[in-house]
Each structure stands twice: as C-alpha cells, then as structure tokens.
C-alpha cells in the first residue's frame, strides 16, 4: 500500500505544470474570432458585446462586469468604436492590459466620411499610424478628421492584428508562445483564402454603384475597389434629414444606382424613399456578422458574407 502511494506521489511530481491560458475579454465578434484563432487549442476568449448589439451604444450587464473584473487583457478595436468602454475598463479592469487594435503600428485606417454622397474611389494608399508611411497620397486628412472605426472590414487589418494578438498573449503566457505564433500564421493563410474567394465573387460587380444604409463598409470598399455612392444615415443614432435624402436621390438619379445594402435592424421605408421611382434591389448585410457562429472561422466568413451580399445585388 505504501509503495503504491509513493508511486502516485512521484508520478504527480513528474507531471508538467501546464499554465492556465490568459483570461481574455474582447469587444466585438470579429475581434473575438481573431483572438479565438490565435488561442485555438489553448483557451477561449470572452465576448463582451453580444452579436446583434451595437458596439457604439451598449449597456453593460452584471455578467459583463464580472468578465472585466477577471480579465488579464482586454483586446478591442478602440475608443473610436466604443467610447463608453473607457469608464468601466478603468473601474472594473484596472489590472488588465489593454490592446487597442486601431492604435497599433501598421494598422490601416481611413478618415470617417460625413457627407451623404461619396466621391468614386481612386487608388488610395494605406495609412499606417505610427509609421508615417503612405503608399500614395490620401484623399483624407488623417491629422484633422476622425478615424472610421470599422477597420476590421479590411481583411489586411485582420492579418496585421493576428501576430500582434499572438505577441500580447505570449507576454502573458510564454509557455504557449509557439502555439499562439503558429495559430496566427495559420489564421493569416485563412484570411488570404477568404480574400481570394471574395475578389473572385466581386469580379462581376466592380462597376456597380450602390447606396449603404449605415456607412460601415469604407474599408471593404477600399480593399476590393468598390463604388459606394452614399450613405442614408450618418450613424446609428442619426436618422437622415430631408436635405440628406434629397442629395442622395440626386446621386441615385445621376449614377442610375439600383442597389442598396441594408442591415437587419434598419427601416426599409427610408431606403424606398431614397429610391422612389427607381428600380431597387436590396441586399441585407451585417458588418458585425451577427448571424455567423462565433469562433475562429467567423472572421473569414464575415469577409466572404459581405462580398456575397454585394454580388446578390447585381
């Protein structure tokens, strides 16, 4: 009996002491997917803002407060997307590290558009905060204009962020650093495949002019060379006034626009008002990917889903 107990004790000493994975909180589903890809086989992040909820105006629940209190790191787009998060992070997650993706060197950013109509896309360069590098002159004055926060819809940003996420997690959990790095590399290849699929799908709509309800797709347009003609609403909280609708109707007339991208929560009657008297096709698309299951595959599927919606509107 004594010999058996001793053997068990020795065996337990010999077992490796595996580190617990970091406790990670992410803001939106797209970021959750990127982090899930990096943590695949090691652990899973927590999602703070549930699918279908607006990241601009979300009210925390008691369970969300618990997630933040337990977090070792919070990975999010940045205050440009969800400025309300600063206060609860300061009060509930004081000890947690923060990774604001929009502020990372190399991240491609575009200035927010405020007008009802957009000029046709020219060949923009990529703006890289923190590096001062621009491939070409930009139409946007980044020094004086607010940054459009929907940067996850440029899949190149997803590729830029994966190794940054891996590095941040490795700092907290060096034992799994090799896993995080390998997962980030695999995730990059998956995004490349999603981009290739999306480019192929969009080949038939390169000359399509379309109106969006909410101006969330600038990064996607920029990456894939698309031609959005305008946005019906300035933001989630700002319904369009008569002057904006009138300007859009003139644009629809001038370009013979027949396609509108709508989102599940928005009022189709406003879209019909803009297109009154014109043929109209609509495609429902969600920049947050609310209908796509959470997990490592969600982000590449989100990119494909936006391309598929546009293709269906041709």
179 in the same domain as 215:
no
The pLDDT value given to residue 274:
77
The pLDDT value given to residue 275:
79
Q: Which domain holds residue 150?
A: 24-103+112-127+140-197
The pLDDT value given to residue 103:
96
User: Could you tell me if residue 81 is inside a domain?
Assistant: yes
Name which residue leads in pLDDT, 138 or 51. 51
183 in the same domain as 168:
yes
The pLDDT value given to residue 135:
35
DSSP 289: -
Contact between 289 and 261 (Cβ < 8 Å)? no
Q: Could you tell me how far CA 189 lies from the centroid of its own chain?
A: 18
The pLDDT value given to residue 236:
56
216 in the same domain as 160:
no
Which pLDDT tens digit goes with each residue over 34-57? Answer: 999 999 999 999 999 998 888 988
User: Could you tell me if residue 239 is inside a domain?
Assistant: yes
Average pLDDT for residues 121-144, to the nearest whole number? 38
CATH of the domain at 185: 3.40.50.1980
238 in the same domain as 121:
no
Phi/psi at 83 (5° precision): -60, -25
Residue 14 has pLDDT above 70, yes or no: no
163 in the same domain as 250:
no
User: Could you tell me if residue 291 is inside a domain?
Assistant: yes
Residues listed for the chain = 314
95 in the same domain as 218:
no
pTM of the model: 0.84
Residue 72 DSSP SS3: coil
User: Could you tell me if residue 2 is inside a domain?
Assistant: no
Which of 174, 197, 220 finishes a domain?
197
Q: What is the domain count for the chain?
A: 2
118 in the same domain as 217:
no
Which pLDDT tens digit goes with each residue over 143-182? Answer: 346 999 999 999 999 999 999 999 999 999 999 999 999 9
Q: Could you tell me how far CA 86 lies from the centroid of its own chain?
A: 19
User: Could you tell me if residue 153 is inside a domain?
Assistant: yes
Which pLDDT tens digit goes with each residue over 223-273? Answer: 999 988 888 876 555 667 778 778 888 888 888 888 888 887 776 777 777
265 in the same domain as 188:
no
87 in the same domain as 60:
yes
The pLDDT value given to residue 56:
87
What's the CA angle centered on 267, arms 271 and 109, to 5 degrees?
A: 75
Q: CA-CA distance, 250 to 245, in Å (whole number)?
A: 9
The pLDDT value given to residue 130:
38
Question: Rg (Cα) of the chain, in Å, rounded?
Answer: 22
| Beta strand residue intervals within the chain, DSSP E | 24-26, 46-47, 73-76, 97-100, 127-128, 133-134, 209-214, 227-233, 259-262, 281-284
Which pLDDT tens digit goes with each residue over 75-127? Answer: 999 999 999 999 999 999 989 999 999 999 999 999 998 777 775 444 334 44
75 in the same domain as 190:
yes
DSSP 140: S
187 in the same domain as 213:
no
User: Could you tell me if residue 71 is inside a domain?
Assistant: yes
- Expressed in angstroms, the distance from the first to the final Cα of the chain is 78
216 in the same domain as 169:
no
């Amino acid at each position: 009996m004594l010999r058996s107990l001793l053997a068990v004790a020795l065996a337990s000493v010999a077992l490796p002491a595996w580190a617990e994975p970091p406790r990670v909180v992410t803001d939106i589903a797209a970021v959750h997917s990127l982090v899930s890809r990096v943590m695949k086989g090691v652990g899973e992040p927590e999602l703070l803002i549930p699918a279908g909820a607006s990241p601009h105006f979300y009210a925390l629940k008691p369970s969300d407060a618990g997630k933040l209190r337990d977090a070792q790191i919070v990975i999010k787009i940045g205050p440009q997307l969800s400025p309300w998060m600063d206060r609860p992070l300061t009060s509930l997650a004081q000890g947690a590290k923060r990774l604001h993706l929009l502020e990372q060197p190399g991240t491609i950013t575009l200035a927010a558009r405020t007008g009802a109509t957009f000029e046709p896309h020219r060949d923009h360069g990529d703006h890289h905060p923190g590096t001062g590098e621009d491939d070409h002159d930009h139409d946007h004055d980044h020094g004086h204009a607010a940054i459009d926060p929907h940067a996850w819809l440029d899949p190149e940003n997803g590729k830029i962020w994966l190794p940054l996420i891996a590095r941040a997690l490795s700092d907290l959990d060096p034992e799994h650093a090799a896993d995080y790095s390998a997962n980030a590399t695999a995730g990059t290849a998956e995004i490349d495949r999603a981009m290739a699929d999306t480019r192929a799908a969009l080949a038939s709509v390169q000359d399509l002019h379309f109106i969006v309800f909410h101006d969330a797709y600038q990064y996607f347009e920029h990456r894939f060379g698309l031609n959005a003609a305008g946005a019906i609403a300035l933001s989630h909280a700002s319904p369009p006034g008569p002057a904006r609708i009138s300007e859009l109707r003139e644009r629809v007339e001038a370009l013979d626009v027949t396609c509108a991208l709508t989102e599940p929560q928005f009022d189709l009657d406003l879209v019909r008002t803009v297109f009154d008297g014109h043929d109209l096709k609509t495609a429902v698309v969600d920049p947050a990917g609310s209908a796509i299951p959470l997990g490592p595959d969600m982000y590449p599927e989100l990119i494909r889903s936006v391309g598929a919606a546009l293709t269906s509107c041709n």
